[in-house]
Structure 1
Amino acid sequence: MTPKIHRSLALGAAAALTALTLAACGSDDSGDGGDTAPAADAVPLTLATQSFPEATLVGALYEVLLEANGYDVEVKAVESRDAYFGELSSGDVDVVPEYLAAVGDFLNTQANGEGAEPVTSSDPAATEAAVVPLAQDAGVTLLDLSDASSQNAFFVTAETAESESLTALSDLEGQSIVLAASPDCDGRADCEGGLSDVYGIDITEILPLGFASPETYAAVQDGEAQLGLTGTIDPNLEDEGLVLLEDDRGIQPAQNYVPAVNSDFLAEHEDLAGPLDELMAALDNDTINELLARITIDREQATDVAEDYLTEQGLI
């Protein structure tokens, strides 16, 4: 997209995201995830999600599914993994929708320190085998992986891509770049660290505007940043006039969706695993893109979209 066009879309997406976040943080009597309040004997469950559109959608799928299976779900929307993972380990949070390699890298750093040898790769099975023991040591159980996989991806405006013949991240090697991204991008091998170390891009500044957020789109559109962070699942890019650059040197590891559950909570509520595993089996990237478009473009409520999908699939 050329600078300063489609701004109404960006502002509309911002309003939609605000509404989604408020919906995700609803109280017990809000009616989210269904037309009736939870049953009196429903099991209290705290679900933490990160506060960007894709995470809001997946969190809503978990919320509606678990409410339908006898849980009284409280949703906590946070900005980064640091904000909830300690609570997941301690049991103050019970369930988190996770990404395989992202949680693996976090746990590896937590257990072995900054600079630890990476345990993740582009191979989901090998990454899962390496990450599961780290999760167990942290008091967390990972359930079944989904085929849906959302890796980090980086975009420029279509105008810039055409004028500078940019198709891949390696085309930016040696350039000084301002990056609009999530606050935890700094130093990560699949984010700023990989761009700097593997691609030789000089990241002069990270604007902490969020993952796939309207503010991140706008920063790149206006030229405040030259590169923005999103995911391989992002239905807004074409309408926003933005294009992804290929990860031609492979800094992105396997980021399959995976439920992360406090191990003690799961031991007490083993029935939790079945519905979540069924959901993981049903999801793929095409489905997520379709559902996410209903939220970010059509401005539907995340819980409404989740309930429609889960009902259509016979999951609730």
Structure 2
Amino acid sequence: MPALPPLPLPPALPGKPPRSRRPGPARAPARPRARARRAGRALALAGLCTALTTALTACGAGLEEQAPGGKGGLVVGSAGFTESQIVAELYAGVLSKAGFRASVKKVKNRELYEPELEKGRIDVVPEYAATLAEFLNAKAHGPDADPVASPNADRTLQALRRLAEPRGLKVLEAGRAVDQNAFAVSRDYAAKHHLKTLTDLGKSKQRITVAAGDECETRPFCRPGLEKTYGIDVRGIDPKGVGTAQSKQAVKDGKDQLVLTTTTDATLDQFGLVLLEDDKRLQNADNIVPVVNAKDAGDAKVARALDRLTRVLTTEDLTELNRKVDRDRLKPHDVAEQYLSRKGLV
């Protein structure tokens, strides 16, 4: 179809200069340019916001401290039983409150985590003064070394520090919380053989299997101590763990006769078990004490954070915390968090 001729412009009004009427297509180029300018401003603003966000994030990250050794966060070691897991979570909580990045690493037993502590792969562990002292004593002087631990907490800590320092370990202050190894039997077994003490068990001449960790075979306060100090006829070790539900159930069911647990075990009644008195004091006073890798966690700020907890924690607290995990089935992390909040430590 041929194009139509253009319409004529209207005449100008009198007294006013004629206005130029631009054809519609002439305005089109202005719109993309405007949109481009607006898009450019939006991109610039977004870039500025991103830069500011990154800077603020970096500033926030700087508020969380690295470990004193400069390697990053602090790793708190935990052995494979309830109480150790709870106290490790307590340590991580107070360290986090002090500004450190703290995490918990569960390791089966002392034979595995202590070398990791020396190497700096673990930075902090909750320990038991007398037990660790004898462990390091045997490492340094052999399994037949004269004992260095005793029921006296101060002397035991002094001995522990002498053994720990050459290994690059620092022993912090111990508190009032004490937990010792303990041995329990079922109520029925105790009644049948007239047992109240470990001496009674030795005199009964019963052959027994001990439900415990596999390290009980060589620990001086476990199988060797039961045999040497009390004359107990230990037939073998059933490696179900220290004070675990499986260990206690095995004794309740009669599969095993003796279970290695602790004096703060809060669930013995549930399994119908009773503690036998350590009447010859095979077990020494085991105050709970933080032990750290001196290079990576040996500065004063770490010690101050852990000391705040050490001064508050009691043996009764430990028993109650164990009960919440073992009986009430709460998680160690949650139990620790509630305790720290209740005591005003976080």
TM-based fold match above 0.5? yes
Write out aligned runs for 1:284-299 (5 A): 284-299=314-329
Distance 2:255 2:236 in 1: 11
Give the match for residue 87 of structure 1: 116
Give the match for residue 253 of structure 1: 284
Which sections of structure 1, spanning at least 5 residues, go unmatched? 1-38
Among candidates 237, 241, 256, match of residue 268 of structure 2: 237
Deviation larger for 82-91 or 243-252: 82-91
Q: Which amino acid aligns with 2:244?
A: S
Name the SS for the 2:101 alignment partner.
Answer: strand
Among candidates 212, 215, 221, match of residue 190 of structure 1: 221
| TM-score, structure 1 as length reference | 0.85
Give the match for residue 21 of structure 1: none
Shift of 1:184: 1.1
CA contact (8 A) 2:74 2:297 kept: no
Give the match for residue 222 of structure 1: 253
The reply on whether 1:97 has 2:126 as its aligned counterpart is yes
Q: Which structure has the greater CA radius of gyration?
A: 2
Give the match for residue 344 of structure 2: 314
Distance 1:305 1:181 in 2: 25
Q: Which amino acid aligns with 2:61?
A: A
Distance 2:220 2:135 in 1: 11
Q: Which amino acid aligns with 1:199?
A: Y
Give the match for residue 24 of structure 1: none
The reply on whether 1:273 has 2:273 as its aligned counterpart is no
Identity over aligned pairs, percent: 39
The reply on whether 1:40 has 2:69 as its aligned counterpart is no
Moved over 6 A (4+): none
Q: Deviations over 1:98-135 (max 9, x none)?
A: 11011111111111112111111111111111111111
Shift of 1:40: 2.4
Q: Which amino acid aligns with 2:232?
A: I
Shift of 1:74: 2.5
Shift of 1:65: 1.5
Shift of 1:64: 1.5
Shift of 1:266: 3.1
CA contact (8 A) 1:189 1:251 kept: no
Among candidates 99, 102, 106, match of residue 73 of structure 1: 102
Q: Deviations over 1:22-66 (max 9, x none)?
A: xxxxxxxxxxxxxxxxx6233211111101111111111111221
Q: Deviations over 1:228-274 (max 9, x none)?
A: 1100000100122110000011100121000000011234x420101
Distance 1:250 1:145 in 2: 21
Name the SS for the 2:170 alignment partner.
Answer: strand
The reply on whether 1:53 has 2:82 as its aligned counterpart is yes
CA contact (8 A) 2:212 2:240 kept: yes
Distance 2:308 2:103 in 1: 21
Name the SS for the 1:160 alignment partner.
Answer: helix
Name the SS for the 1:211 alignment partner.
Answer: coil
Among candidates 138, 148, 152, match of residue 123 of structure 1: 152
Shift of 1:219: 1.2
Higher RCO structure, 1 or 2 (CA under 8 Å, sep 6+): 1
Distance 1:86 1:133 in 2: 17
Among candidates 141, 149, 164, match of residue 178 of structure 2: 149
Q: Deviations over 1:136-160 (max 9, x none)?
A: 0110001110111110000001111
Name the SS for the 2:151 alignment partner.
Answer: coil
Greater share of residues in helix:
2
Which sections of structure 2, spanning at least 5 residues, go unmatched? 1-59, 67-72
